[in-house]
Structure 1
């Protein structure tokens, strides 16, 4: 009877397939030398690209490849006024389908949402037009050079999920909070200058 049950189990139970994907670490575009990776059965192959602009200049253009869960297969961004970072993770479901690098995140346009941000004159009552999928307002409090820095702006839902905010907070040692509704991240001043505002922005980018 046990042998019969085993035979029926092998025949009728669904097989657990894993997917072979290209994998390489986050690095500058063109420097990604992939190796093969067996992904868990609930994940897809992903090719990610992260771009960031500060003051209108592209500061970061990184790519990576690997296994991605369904919630990671998105285009998302956050914007703190002094700089904007966007992530595009293109996913697919066949063997080694992530051979090509991900394209740059789609060019976005204002979506009608508005949030407060902190400018270089230490004023956090400035208004920012959110773009693309940025449908949340975000506030961040970080410690840089023993100085408490407050940053505000717009963010996509991806960066406001419980898992993402927990990871960002753990990495930066700061507090991240999100809310929905125009200007829900309140206007308040901060003593941070331009260098202190840019430093935590670069720290957040290093997380991805």
Structure 2
């Protein structure tokens, strides 16, 4: 699955509080914001490098209704996320998004977790429910 990259660079003056570095990705989409700050006159000659390398973390992602696809997280994406509104989105996110609950999907229920593949499907799997059927039947008929 190929990714389209749109790079936008700005230079200017800003308060130190806006110096951030975060990203999130799901499926074929990745959003990276990297605001690098410096001190001194005309110190902003370099363009921040937005290219990220895989970090070993793995999360589930969705392609249409199939949320069992896997995604290799990159850069500082150390969390998995799930966002649900009209559809479900799953992927990787950096700590800044998850720690401050900077929901990149306004209006959606958004949650983060740590650990590989922690944003899996529902907590009660169909296999678990099948195991409970005999217990339920024996309880009803005893």
Does the residue aligned with 1:127 lie in a helix, a strand or coil?
strand
With normalisation by structure 1, the TM-score equals 0.51
Find the counterpart in structure 1 of residue 75 from structure 2: 132
Do structure 1's residue 123 and structure 2's residue 61 form an aligned pair? no
Find the counterpart in structure 1 of residue 126 from structure 2: none
- Report which of the two has the higher share of strand: 1
Do structure 1's residue 84 and structure 2's residue 18 form an aligned pair? no
Distance change (3 Å), C-alpha of 1:61 and 1:109: closer
Match of 2:96 among 155, 158, 181: 158
With normalisation by structure 2, the TM-score equals 0.71
Distance 1:62 1:156 in 2: 20
Do structure 1's residue 57 and structure 2's residue 10 form an aligned pair? no
Distance 1:73 1:186 in 2: 32
Find the counterpart in structure 1 of residue 116 from structure 2: 182
Gaps of 5+ in 1: 1-53, 143-147, 189-208
Does the residue aligned with 2:56 lie in a helix, a strand or coil?
strand
* Alignment RMSD: 2.4
Distance change (3 Å), C-alpha of 1:163 and 1:101: farther
Does the residue aligned with 1:173 lie in a helix, a strand or coil?
coil
> Contact (CA 8 Å) 2:60, 2:119: kept in 1 or not?
yes
What do the CA deviations read for 1:106-155 (whole angstroms, capped 9, x no partner)?
Answer: x32221111110014x200111111111100011123xxxxx01100001
- Taking the TM superposition and a 5 Å limit, the aligned residue runs for 1:89-104 are 89-95=35-41, 97-98=43-44, 100=45, 102-104=47-49
